[in-house]
Amino acid sequence: MTTYGELVAAATVGIAQRPLSVTGLPEAAAGYSTLLDSDPAASVLDAVALLDAAHRAGRLFATPISLPTPAPRDSVPELRPVAGRIVAELLRTGPVDVLADLLSAAAHAGFRAPPALLPALLWAATANAVLRDAVAAVLGERGRWLAAHQPDWLRVADSGVGPVAEDAWEAGRLAERRGWLAQLRQHDPDAARGLLAEGWVRETGDDRAELITVLADGLSAADESFLETALDDRRADVRHRAAGLLQLLPGSAFQARARARAAQALRLERRGRHRRIIASLPDEPDDTARRDGLDARPRSQGTGLKTWLLTQIIAAAPLGLWTEILRDDPRSIVALPITGDFAPDVHAGWRRAAVRQRNAEWARALLDVPVRSAAAPSDPELAAVLPQVQRQTRMVALLRRRVEEAQALAELQSCPPPWAAELGDAVLGYIAGELGSHRPAWISALLATVGRALPADGATDYVSELRRLAEDAPVTTGWPHALRRAADLVELRRRFHEELR
């Protein structure tokens, strides 16, 4: 019996150096030994080919293999053929964010992905986090059944919201346990918190960091004691998330401590009709302040320790404190001069607080102030706090002012699709004024966003408008190709949404 290893060794060294007579082949290839060439060298090659074919073909097991339980029957309708072909095309050519949008729209309309596309969708979502939630939403029963047979796919299925088994808390994976606890939290908040506290010390650090976020739904004073205990957790991310929840809890001891620290940081000074904010740098944090999450290590080079602490102290305080202390509305407060060149640090703290507390009034006021601190959230992050209509109205104003390209692109990408017609028209006007520019990276990024977000239907035929602009654009620039690609994406999205009706 000649083994595959012996054949490889003979072929590597050479038959002249290591003569080999192939007398027989193992397993499935054994019945084909009579086909071997009589020439020794050719017989080695024939034998290798037979063994390789046998290996790829597989073999029958001596004992029967039990088959998995068949997939449950899907009650959700499958995407229609045209929509399925569009999904297949985007899987091949992208862009993935457009594919994610269309899959989410399909799930919202009550459709699931065609079975033939499930493996490709699961592999794509495994490789790209942008797709995970959208793919999980269209898997259906068969897709979730299929995902259970491949660990990488199972992580994709877990990212979606699906049926939660009754025994998920005791026997489920983390995503299933979190889903089960979230369901309990919705109808019995005290029971969910009690169950979490009961097994808290037995949970892993990763599980504690994930499960504690469930308390954000229905957060109340009854959660305060448990969250205060979590401030002493050995895991930094658990402490950080507990502090974030306590910061949002009105009347909590955490808020009282944060208010007391912040009240020492800023005060209002009046001199006749003039007003200004006096900023005082804090001392190094004590044990209580560190427990509440103040970090004594600046996150960026060039940032002083005390100015970094000042930003954190302001960020941790309820924004309502400043209207009390500084006796005015947010827009007037952020316009006040601040002593000691501390304005960037103070504004950074207010920006962080506005994002964390989801305060649209403060966000609108702060967006009128230029960002001058690396510790401050960017304009797109702050704009994300605004209601959708206000975000798009702000974007229209920016485009009409012809803001610099980096700001325009960042703000556009922060506006979730689809855009309203007013924003779509403003974008086309902005593009028309940029057609002569030679900036390939800017053009590509701008038009990729446009193709994803312009309305696919409505009073304006954006497909025709984009193609008209492509004809007007100089052929020596990257605009014509990018505009036609954007038009094709809008047309593709239009056809897809027609199939969902």
What does the pLDDT look like over 246-264, one tens digit per residue?
999 999 999 999 999 999 9
What are the structure tokens assigned to 456, written together? 């696919």
Task: Report, as an integer, the average pLDDT of 280-303.
Answer: 84
For 272-332, strand residue ranges (E) read 274-279
pLDDT in tens, 162-172: 556 677 788 88
- How confident is the model at residue 436, as a pLDDT? 75
Percent of the chain with pLDDT over 70: 97
pLDDT in tens, 350-408: 999 999 999 999 999 999 888 888 888 888 999 999 999 999 999 999 888 887 777 77
Q: Give phi and psi for 490, each to the nearest 5.
A: -65, -40
pLDDT in tens, 451-465: 989 988 878 899 999
pLDDT in tens, 399-456: 888 877 777 788 888 888 889 999 999 999 888 888 877 777 778 888 888 998 998 8
Rounded-to-integer distance, Cα 330 and Cα 438, Å: 41
pLDDT in tens, 190-224: 999 999 999 999 999 999 999 999 999 999 999 99
Report helix angle 151-158 to 174-187, nearest 10. 20
Rounded-to-integer distance, Cα 237 and Cα 202, Å: 17
Looking at every residue in the chain, the average pLDDT score rounds to: 88
Q: Give phi and psi for 112, each to the nearest 5.
A: -120, 165
- How confident is the model at residue 358, as a pLDDT? 94
Task: Report, as an integer, the average pLDDT of 135-149.
Answer: 93
Rounded-to-integer distance, Cα 216 and Cα 121, Å: 32
For 281-381, strand residue ranges (E) read none
| Residue with more model confidence, 487 or 28 | 487
Rounded-to-integer distance, Cα 94 and Cα 87, Å: 9
- Per-domain boundaries in the chain: 4-57, 81-158, 168-249, 257-383, 396-499
